Structure 1
């Protein structure tokens, strides 16, 4: 496959994390999306590489894209701080645990959409929820989950938490 798709929602309140991501080869559609995300910045949408620390980008290379327009420096700091740290650690841990094969670290890239609510205030929750959501989204993507059969079987087994917003 040239593209794996993952999604996860973790947490509650204003710190809830919602991750949508694509994993694929650098020379395929995900690679194109990755390059476009880094090259196409716009006001309030500062896409950034996931780094463990400055000068140590994760492998596979991961670009984080904002799913909400960042309007304040506080929101930008949350994206560049606890969210970036969480996504980076989740990618590295996924490689260390074999969810993403180590030998594909240079061939694959990840495009990771990150939601941070404008009223989010608890940076620890932002970190913890985004870490868990990213780990879950990666695991789902790499396993091809949910399958069409699982989606059909569970289509009436609960409600979307934001259905009435």
Structure 2
């Protein structure tokens, strides 16, 4: 079976938890020297107001491997939201990526050759840093797992679509879904 890391880019998504402490993470994984590296470096070098991508670290001066760029989806505002973004969510993402390496989803011998871009949602209403960490750890791992295993499959998506789209912010009524 060919390695999934032969692909130009792997893309995954995971949503874990509910309410203010839920975590929603999207990842793109690719090899250094390819388009993911260009996107990684460009994002790091071109922050915008309120969105300053940063390297995810296990602790200061120890970046997680594969090196992972944390891109916040929500402007970090207020002390607790900032602590969650740069603290618990970053730590959770680092641990989730390390879990994926420890479990072999990302082979340790390829970790230095890969880069991850993680777009991470931290709700501005976050109120529990420990729950934020646990949810982000699971969402980071889940997004990497989805990318590496190419899940969900098209069949899974079509099966889920039978009920219609829904997300934590909106579910259309049957009348709206009617063609």
Q: TM-score per shorter chain, which class?
A: over 0.9
Please say if 1:36 is aligned against 2:42.
yes
* Pairing partner for 1:151 from 118, 143, 157: 157
Q: After superposition, what is the alpha-carbon deviation per residue over 1:102-156, rounded to whole angstroms, capped at 9, x for unaligned?
A: 1211211000011011111110111011000111111010001111122112212
**Match of 2:105?**
99
* Structure 2 runs not aligned, ≥5 long: 1-6, 173-179
Structure 2 length as normaliser, TM-score? 0.87
Give the Å deviation of 1:76: 2.2
**Match of 1:87?**
93
Give the Å deviation of 1:20: 0.7
Distance 1:164 1:151, change over 3 A: closer
**Match of 2:66?**
60
Give the total of aligned pairs.
Answer: 165
Structure 1 length as normaliser, TM-score? 0.93
Higher alpha-carbon Rg: 2
Greater CA drift, 85-94 or 24-33: 24-33
Q: Which whole-Å CA distance do the structure 1 matches of 2:167 and 2:53 have between them?
A: 28
* Structure 1 runs not aligned, ≥5 long: none
**Match of 1:122?**
128
Kept in 1, the 8 Å contact 2:10–2:28? The answer is yes
